[in-house]
Structure 1
Amino acid sequence: MSRRNLLAAALIAPLLLLVTLSFLVPLGATLYRAVDDPEFSTALPRTAALLRAWDGKDLPPDEAFAAIVEELRAAQQNQEAGAVLSRLNFEETGLRSLLLQAARASARLAPPIKDGLIALNPRWGEPELWRMFKRATGPWTSLYLLRSLDMRPTDKGIVHAGAEDAVFLPLFWRTFEISLIVTVICALLAYPVAYTLSILPQGWANAGMMLVLIPFWTSILVRTTAWFIILQREGPINALLMAFDIVNQPLTMIFTRFAVYLAMVHVLLPFAILPLYGVMKGIKPDYMRAAASLGAPGWRRFLRIYLPLTMPGVAAGSLMVFMLSVGFYITPALVGGSGDQMVSYFIAFFTNTSVNWGMAAALATLLMAMTALLVIVARLIVPGFRSGNVKV
């Protein structure tokens, strides 16, 4: 390898290391955790081994009944049963109580343990229960990914949740709906602002860009909290409306979808303005002058020349806004209602509240996959995404 190549590799290495540690490693860990299923085998290793050898027909051998009772009691005494109990109870509500009941009764169960467990609770005599345990022996599971799509695995295959029980598919739809609307609003507002800045004298343009960049100097939490105060029933907007007799009573603006749109657009608008401004600033006025000299009216010059030339900026700004929107958490959580929360809210819930890392990773994985699919589709159908060279 030549000295120049070695120097180039040395310069690229820190960037490659940064990308690997900050993106590729967390991405790989998230994908792995979405399908990882170690809880049952870790807490109940002997039971897991017996169930893997079981053919899944009728009931497992008597040794499996004895092993699960013994290992449940030991895991509870060692305070190591929490993970497996949460894992099984997530798949079917009520299993935590069933397993704890067996663990508490283990001391008084006499051989044959199988008959004692069935007498304690008839569910122990159902092969479906043991087949569920067998599916939980890992090392991989599709449970979390299926649940994120409102489906679940059963003995009869994959079962879809009914429309009244579906939670996560409507959640994904709501997330992309809010993100798309915010993106469209930002693009519509950013276009005239960027155009105005691009045709102003340089001094005025610099002052205008300072006003655009000021929000970047304030945290998202502070800006969202400001909207939380402004949109209150006793806030300044309602006070102004009532002072001018526009309304007779305060409007409910906080904890609504309107508040979510307003706050998100305020936060994300600069991300749409900056790429547009950069593209518009680089467009030579000669094209428009030539079209005008040929008799093209203003609207035709805009639609046939200026708009196509600015599409790369529209596409870049829209992509940035959309990618940031789908992962928004603080703004919808503070100013939105229960029906306005996005996928990120539930990722935080499963991470911090219920401590279900598998479900949080599955939601994050599906959100990333769906977002990537939408971006690929956009590259195929939107001219500005395909190439920076737009035909006029």
Structure 2
Amino acid sequence: MSTLNSSGPQTADAPTPDDAFHEATGLDARESQPPHGSGDGDGPVLAADGRPLKQSLKRALRAQKLRALMLIAPLLIFVLVTFIAPIADMLFRSVENQIVSDTLPRTTQALAGWDEDSGAMPPDNILAAFTYDMVAAAERKEHTRLGTRLNYEMTGISSLFRKTGRRVDDFGETYLDQFEALDPAWEEAKTWVRLMGDPDWLAANADWAAEADAAGRDFDKPAPPFELKPGIAAALPETADAYAEFARITQVEDEDNPAEEEPWAPVYLALFRDLAKQPAPDFAALAAPDRALLAPAAQAVPDFETVALADLYIKADEDWADPEVWKTIKAFSPDYTSGYFLASVDLQKTVDGVSAQPEDRQIYMLLFKRTLFMSMVIMGSCVLLGYPIAYLLSNLPMRTSNLLLILVLLPFWTSLLVRTSAWKVLLQQQGVINDILVWAHIVADDARLVMINNQFGTIVAMTHILLPFMILPLYSVMKTIPPSYVRAAKSLGATNWTAFWRVYFPQSVPGIGAGCILVFILAIGYYITPELVGGTTGTFISNRIAYHISSSLNWGLAAALGTILLAVVLILYWLYDRLVGIDNVSLG
């Protein structure tokens, strides 16, 4: 006899494609084994379309998973774009430092071998590399961004780069004048382009220029990218490098033809340095016209008037004589740096290692401690104020509790700025609260309480703003607690306090946990209310992050501060899970 009750409800799970797949797999395995004493068994079970059942079920499962993936794809893409991608970008910005190496590629390579303990400016070879980088950066308008970046590490570098960027294109004029006096051909753009340009590029560029002249303003065909002549870089390495940079910027940034533009003065500096090297450069691999141009120049270079690059930089700004400037450039030459994270904990990265920030710049650890402390106080205040309100709402008749719940939700219908501004009116020394205290003779008129632009004002305003986020989870949990439990405890002899503390309160703990998490996470990231009512002692670390994003534009430091704040929140979340248990959090 069957033990199943055919009249009762069916409690067995419905068959799924997975069950059929496993059953078919087992069936195939059984049928693939020959019976005892016989030859090969029958073939696999076939589906209606003639395919093996196992293969058909695999296709069905694959199609089912693809449909499920398509259903969640919009949400997955939304989370990736709005949550994962910004966090990944923040983590990258907190260590990214490529602006120095990208803007000063020659300088960073040359500084690697410089002895920063010499107490003097770098030698001419490093200053020459810096000159080529600076004139290119000034033409691309990137030297100010680089100065701003390094100014985060050493105050004053930003103005140093701005001033020098306006003058660096004159560095080398002494040699420009002497080369032109030696041979007027050096003044002509076609001399340079014929000396440096690849013959194939020269032909392509000439054709492009002819097409541009014929087409006029409607011509939008890009010019062929400049290419160096084979062998010229081996004979004149610095000159070829500097001129190639000039040609690329002339084409890309200025949208001009390098065959029609005289090179920068630093290109003549590079030519002088190449021709003055010992042993003398070898021109044997160059064509006869190039040798005829360069040989007289090489013979005349020893008699040229020279000028020290260090003197040119000191003349532009005497701060270049400070070795600390060059140490800062060298220290932040790598593509990735820990400097932002060190600055976030009041440390700084130097060539000599990690050291503490000056006392007048040690503010971030104080802000982190203040943020955590005040967030905890606000969370505790919301628990103390919200628990009785939620208890009252959950035990009143439904009609009355719904009416009072509307009053709890009413602040959500008012702008955050309006609510914060209202507290400024209430809490200021000539505000409503102080006027009432003076009228009631609780405080003297000349001793009004200072309740705004400090920590007290921030705590009061944020407690009022975040209180609904504590009440709602508590109310939703308390509403599910059966009143019969408390009545049963009282019927067994428990007092009102004992029944509440031993029976009711433990069941409301999940609501407290949910409210605490909501309030604390919101409080730790608030910046509008502390900015308006916090003054100098009531601001959070989030206010500093907002400042660096919108005002100082130090996004790297802002990203590092945000990353540390995120790490602190995750650690506290982990501790909460270990001590209380995230499973105990409930919204009812």
- What is the TM-score when the length of structure 1 is the normalising length? 0.89
Q: Tell me the residue number matched to 1:247.
A: 443
Q: Tell me the residue number matched to 2:133.
A: 71
Moved more, 64-73 or 154-163: 154-163
Q: Tell me the residue number matched to 1:343.
A: 541
Moved more, 269-278 or 95-104: 95-104
Q: Tell me the residue number matched to 1:15.
A: 75
SS at match of 2:382: helix
Q: Tell me the residue number matched to 2:378.
A: 182
Distance (whole Å) between structure 2 residues aligned to residue 125 and residue 236 of structure 1: 60
Q: Tell me the residue number matched to 2:44.
A: none
The reply to whether residue 46 of structure 1 matches residue 106 of structure 2 is yes
Query: Contact conserved, 2:101 with 2:333, CA < 8 A, in 1?
Result: yes
Q: Tell me the residue number matched to 2:479.
A: 281
Query: Contact conserved, 1:231 with 1:253, CA < 8 A, in 2?
Result: yes
Stretches of structure 1 that go unaligned for 5 or more consecutive residues are: none
Distance (whole Å) between structure 2 residues aligned to residue 164 and residue 300 of structure 1: 54
Distance (whole Å) between structure 1 residues aligned to residue 165 and residue 90 of structure 2: 33
Distance (whole Å) between structure 2 residues aligned to residue 237 and residue 122 of structure 1: 58
TM-aligned CA distance change 1:34 to 1:247, over 3 Å: same
Distance (whole Å) between structure 1 residues aligned to residue 81 and residue 107 of structure 2: 38
Q: Tell me the residue number matched to 2:288.
A: none
Which amino acid is the alignment partner of residue 273 of structure 1?
I
Question: After superposition, where does 1:226-375 map in structure 2 within 5 Å?
Answer: 226-249=422-445, 250-375=448-573
Moved more, 92-101 or 177-186: 92-101
Q: Tell me the residue number matched to 1:207.
A: 403
Stretches of structure 2 that go unaligned for 5 or more consecutive residues are: 1-60, 173-305
CA shift for structure 1 position 185 = 0.3
Distance (whole Å) between structure 2 residues aligned to residue 182 and residue 144 of structure 1: 30
Which structure: greater helix fraction?
A: 1
CA shift for structure 1 position 94 = 2.7
Distance (whole Å) between structure 2 residues aligned to residue 151 and residue 57 of structure 1: 22
Distance (whole Å) between structure 2 residues aligned to residue 210 and residue 7 of structure 1: 42
Query: Contact conserved, 2:548 with 2:558, CA < 8 A, in 1?
Result: yes
Query: Contact conserved, 1:69 with 1:102, CA < 8 A, in 2?
Result: no
Distance (whole Å) between structure 2 residues aligned to residue 128 and residue 164 of structure 1: 20
SS at match of 2:417: helix
Which amino acid is the alignment partner of residue 69 of structure 2?
A
Q: Tell me the residue number matched to 1:96.
A: 158
SS at match of 2:537: helix
Distance (whole Å) between structure 2 residues aligned to residue 72 and residue 388 of structure 1: 59
Q: Tell me the residue number matched to 1:134.
A: 330
The reply to whether residue 172 of structure 1 matches residue 368 of structure 2 is yes
Distance (whole Å) between structure 1 residues aligned to residue 65 and residue 151 of structure 2: 56
Query: Contact conserved, 2:144 with 2:158, CA < 8 A, in 1?
Result: no
Q: Tell me the residue number matched to 2:584.
A: 387
SS at match of 2:152: helix
- What is the TM-score when the length of structure 2 is the normalising length? 0.61
Coordinate RMSD, CA, aligned:
2.7
Distance (whole Å) between structure 2 residues aligned to residue 282 and residue 9 of structure 1: 36
CA shift for structure 1 position 70 = 3.2
Distance (whole Å) between structure 2 residues aligned to residue 134 and residue 168 of structure 1: 26
SS at match of 1:375: helix
CA shift for structure 1 position 78 = 4.1
Which amino acid is the alignment partner of residue 457 of structure 2?
A
Distance (whole Å) between structure 2 residues aligned to residue 199 and residue 209 of structure 1: 12
CA shift for structure 1 position 23 = 0.7
**Which one of 94, 102, 105 corresponds to residue 34 of structure 1?**
94
Moved more, 102-111 or 272-281: 102-111
**Which one of 142, 147, 157 corresponds to residue 80 of structure 1?**
142
CA shift for structure 1 position 126 = 6.8
Moved more, 252-261 or 171-180: 252-261
Distance (whole Å) between structure 2 residues aligned to residue 336 and residue 264 of structure 1: 10
Which amino acid is the alignment partner of residue 387 of structure 1?
N
Query: Contact conserved, 1:69 with 1:103, CA < 8 A, in 2?
Result: no
CA shift for structure 1 position 377 = 1.1
- 1:347-379 deviations in Å (ceiling 9; x for gaps): 111111111111111111111111111111121
TM-aligned CA distance change 1:278 to 1:42, over 3 Å: same
TM-aligned CA distance change 1:103 to 1:14, over 3 Å: closer
**Percent of aligned pairs with the same amino acid:** 41
Distance (whole Å) between structure 2 residues aligned to residue 98 and residue 163 of structure 1: 25
TM-aligned CA distance change 1:57 to 1:253, over 3 Å: closer
Query: Contact conserved, 2:453 with 2:537, CA < 8 A, in 1?
Result: no
Distance (whole Å) between structure 1 residues aligned to residue 534 and residue 321 of structure 2: 47
Which amino acid is the alignment partner of residue 341 of structure 1?
T
Query: Contact conserved, 2:108 with 2:330, CA < 8 A, in 1?
Result: yes
Which amino acid is the alignment partner of residue 128 of structure 2?
A
Which amino acid is the alignment partner of residue 81 of structure 1?
H
Q: Tell me the residue number matched to 1:144.
A: 340
TM-aligned CA distance change 1:137 to 1:224, over 3 Å: same
The 4+ residue runs of structure 1 with deviation greater than 6 A are 53-57, 118-123
Q: Tell me the residue number matched to 2:421.
A: 225
Which amino acid is the alignment partner of residue 490 of structure 2?
A
CA shift for structure 1 position 74 = 3.8
Distance (whole Å) between structure 1 residues aligned to residue 112 and residue 82 of structure 2: 38
Query: Contact conserved, 1:66 with 1:114, CA < 8 A, in 2?
Result: no
Moved more, 46-55 or 91-100: 46-55
Larger Rg computed on CA atoms: 2
SS at match of 1:159: strand
Higher RCO (CA-CA < 8 Å; seq separation 6+)? 1
TM-aligned CA distance change 1:203 to 1:155, over 3 Å: same
- 1:240-275 deviations in Å (ceiling 9; x for gaps): 333333333243322122211111011100000111
Which amino acid is the alignment partner of residue 152 of structure 2?
F
SS at match of 1:339: coil
Query: Contact conserved, 1:36 with 1:138, CA < 8 A, in 2?
Result: no
